[in-house]
Chains A and B, each alone.
Chain A
Amino acid sequence: MLTIKNLHANIDDKAILKGINLQVNPGEVHAIMGPNGSGKSTLANVLVGREEYQITQGEVRFEDQDLLNMAPEERARAGIFLAFQYPVEIPGVSNINFLKAALNNVRAARGLAKLDAIDLLQQVKDKMQQVKMNPDFLYRSVNEGFSGGEKKRNEVLQMLLLEPKLALLDETDSGLDIDALKIVADGVNALRSPERAIVLVTHYQRLLDYIVPDFVHVLSGGQIIKSGDKNLALELEQQGYGWLTEARA
């Protein structure tokens, strides 16, 4: 589904990604871990087309398409979703209007008709129950005045509604208490299916107690330096990243 080959990316002429190779197939859950500043978030942002990064080398294919040549909205319509590390506030725009605009754009790309207001509301309310959000949030401005946990749940709500083929979660667990973490994990697990892939970017192992990954990759210095199964995450939890990064040095 997603094939990354020798991907290099800079920000302000500083190299962040220095040759990433990764294959993600439908049905798989990958966790990308690594110390701060290793390039985890950069990778997620490059995949969704954030424009301040310059791609200097490499190739990314999503299904049959050359991902790097697609505009951010085209990638979203093709089925790539990013749960943001820092969800953005949009004053004046109600959550429900935002969800409607997002969903109808994605549906149109899939050849589906627009949802009318009643069907939309029904779907949204069902998904809100899943992430234990009060329906009042629909009529508040997007993320404005939301707590950290509410913002993250709002991201998961959007993800559940848009049903992406590839979901990227960028540090979605950071700043969550254990109850909120479980809610987010339940949401992500509900999305797991043989047709979908999920890539979790995280600093800590604890999220992986709730969302069990098929593969764990350690990113350091802009490269994947080790890959393994879920046990790799446990090793990292016990020993930190030092033994891996030092071994390379």
Chain B
Amino acid sequence: MAATQPQLTNLLSQEYQHGFVTDIETDTLPPGLNEEVVRTISAKKNEPEFMLEYRLKAYRHWLTMTPPDWAKLKIEPIDYQAITYYSAPKFKKDAPKSLDEVDPELLRTYEKLGIPLKEQEMLAGIAVDAVFDSVSVATTFKSKLAEKGVIFCSFSEALQEHPELVKKYLGTVVPHTDNFFAALNAAVFSDGSFCYIPKGVRCPMELSTYFRINAKSSGQFERTLIVAEEGSYVSYLEGCTAPMRDENQLHAAVVELIALENAQIKYSTVQNWYPGDKEGRGGIYNFVTKRGICRGKQAKISWTQVETGSAITWKYPSVILEADNTIGEFYSVALTNNLQQADTGTKMIHIGKNTRSTIISKGISAGHGQNSYRGLVKVLKNAQHARNYTQCDSLLLGSRCGAHTFPYIEVKNPTAQIEHEASTSKISEDQLFYCRQRGMGIEDAVSMIVNGFCKEVLKELPMEFAVEAQKLLGISLEGSVG
């Protein structure tokens, strides 16, 4: 309607709220990538020999690879020699030993983002590992976790303190040969989080990592490795933001989850990388490989993601259901506005008997946003009585955006039960008017309808995160119909 459109345009043009830059001294390598850079990163972090070997192997393999082109994404060619592969906040000493030694500017950055790192100010029950550009700056609640035997630290620290664990599990779920971005990550990743839950331990608090890209022209390549021993449980949260920059920045992370017998890992992401401006200038390229393996019987891995940011998202958190009776879940909300593009989904690989997987995907497109769900359900020959339920719903706001669904199903065992449901809907003018006649503003109405559309996914998030995700959906959209 004539009177509605300009209001919608205003609402849709709400600006990114985390777009500030922190002025901080950094130790930054010049742009470019070669074997020397890989060696330098490893040396700067004083890594054990096996790690350097791994990086070099990955780098040499990466040189033989080409970027994937099968996704429904328009990506400008990336000049990998123009990217800075290492940028770390400069500390007076080598690394901060405690929060008191962390640069106050950095702490302020996290406070601006709503993530106070000082333990006494923290929400009870969430331990945070903060990664700024490529380096972990602070991990909270470490001692309390240590009492239970839980290891939660930066990846660099894990390499120093627990090299045997890293060596045992690194690359076992996402090998360095897996794909172009995973190979690049394996060669140059500078930090990330490491988490180990011992046998039978229920992790007493939510573990959380907050990623922030700050430096210009830098890539962020972090690596997360979570190992849940037999009968253990952990809930892990990940949040991401970045400043507003004119040029695109690359974020190529790898996350590996390993769940042993009866273990359960719940991994939640609220991704709000800078999406670029209305003309599509700038924004993060979010090319991420996330995969978990249920290695022991009755293990369970759940991925929940709310993807509202990034110029381009290429991401398929997956579960390999290797052992019998294991469960994989994927709950996703992906929102694209303006010129954002998302090609996201999951892979559920059923190997063991009686394995079950659930996929709930909610795509929301507004402006010129293009949103694709791409999912693979694969049932191998010995996976007797495997079951999958997939539901893909798309919600369109306006008439210039697009929603696409690419489900792939490969079944090699006749006892499998696979269900797939899909729907596409639009917020109608009638719905919006009905809400307005009851006193709601357009933004409230759209936000309510979008949240209603996503609620099956949002209810999977831990409480504090769900509230944040709801707000984020509101800010990123705030109404649009056509």
Contacts and interface: CB of A to CB of B under 8 A. Distances in A.
Interface of A: 48-52, 71-73, 75-77, 81-82, 84, 87-94, 97-98, 101-102, 105-106, 109, 141, 158, 162
The residue among B434, B444, B453 with the most chain A CB atoms within 10 A of its own CB is: B434
A72 B437 CA distance: 6
A93 B439 contact: no
Contacts, number: 83
Q: Secondary structure of the A side of the interface?
A: mixed
A92 B455 contact: yes
B200 interface: no
Interface string B143-157: 000000000000000
A31 B453 CA distance: 39
A247 to B, nearest CB: 36
A221 to B, nearest CB: 27
Interface of B: 1-4, 425, 428, 430-431, 433-442, 444-445, 448-449, 451-455
A172 to B, nearest CB: 14
B430 A93 contact: no
> Most chain-A Cβ atoms within 10 A of its Cβ — which of B1, B438, B445?
B438
Contacts of A93: 448-449, 451-452
Contact of A105 (B430, B431, B444): B444
Contact of B2 (A51, A75, A81, A105): A51
A101 B437 contact: no
Given A77-B439, A105-B440, A105-B441, A50 B453 contact: no
Contact of A84 (B3, B4, B434): B434
Nearest to B434: A88
Nearest to B7: A71
A109 B439 contact: yes
Secondary structure class of chain B's binding surface, majority of residues = helix
Contacts of A158: 438
Query: Which of B4, B441, B451, B453 is most buried by chain A, counting CB atoms within 10 A of its CB?
Result: B441
Contacts of B425: 91
Nearest to A93: B452
A111 to B, nearest CB: 14
Contact of B433 (A50, A102, A141): A50
Contacts of A98: 435, 438, 448
A17 B197 CA distance: 72
Contacts of A73: 436-437, 439-442
B401 to A, nearest CB: 19
Contacts of B438: 76, 98, 101-102, 105-106, 158, 162
The 6 A-B residue pairs with the shortest CB-CB distance in the complex, in nearest-first order? A92-B452, A93-B452, A102-B438, A105-B439, A88-B434, A51-B1
A82 B449 contact: no
A98 to B, nearest CB: 7
Nearest to A161: B438
A98 B453 CA distance: 13
Given A73-B441, A102-B439, A105-B444, A90 B434 contact: yes
A72 B2 CA distance: 14
Contacts of B433: 50-51, 72, 88
B355 to A, nearest CB: 30
